[in-house]
Every structure is written in structure tokens, then in C-alpha cells.
Amino acid sequence: MKHLVNKLVTEKVPFMGDTVEVKKLSVNEVLEMQKLVKASSKTKDDSAQINLLIEVIKLAVIGANEITHEQFKTFPIAELTGLSNQIMRLAGIGDGPVGN
């Protein structure tokens, strides 16, 4: 089992008529995501939920960290929310079965 430490596991998921590669989050990454959620819930900033959505996607989607917040804001919110739901599912904290 030790040979699997730090192994990156990904799955391709649909996004805007194409596919993106989402990594299955490690325990540490899930804990980091929970910190983001907690911090977001404490702020009164109207854009906090959108910023949280963006940060979760940047954490999990391969290559998403190269996209700026302004560029993220050009995507349809429904598409970003759907992608976030897929991320949560793959992390084992959302609804539905986890893929391979």
C-alpha cells in the first residue's frame, strides 16, 4: 500500500460540452476545502460564495489554477456549480457513487 502514497487519481467529467480532468482530493485537500467553506461562511461579502466555488474548482481541476477569478466569472454559474458537485462527489462528500 505504501507505493500508493501521494498517487494522483483523476477522472474526466463533463463541463460545458467538453471534459475536464478532476483529481480525487486527498484528506489534506478536503480539510483545506473545509477551511475555505468555514472562512466563506463567516464573511458578509456578497461574492464569497462565488469565490468559494472558484477556489474549490482551482483545488481540484487539473489546470484550473491557471485561470484568473475574472476569467472564471465568464463561465455560466450553472456549469460551475455542476462541476463543483462532481468535485464533491469524487471527494466522497457529495451525492452519488464515486467513479472508478
For residue range 33-87, list pLDDT tens digits in order: 888 888 888 887 778 889 999 999 999 999 999 999 999 999 999 999 999 999 9
Q: pTM of the full predicted structure? A: 0.82
Give the separation between CA 36 and CA 55, rounded to whole angstroms. 8
Give the pLDDT of residue 48: 84
Give the separation between CA 34 and CA 30, rounded to whole angstroms. 6
Cβ neighbour number for residue 8 with a 10 Å cutoff:
9
Q: Which of 20-24, 30-34, 47-51, 93-97 has the highest mean pLDDT?
A: 20-24
Burial of 25 (0-12, 13-18, 19+ CB in 10 A): buried
Annotate 26-45 with DSSP letters as a single string.
PHHHHHHHHHHHHHHHH---
Domain ranges for the chain: 25-91
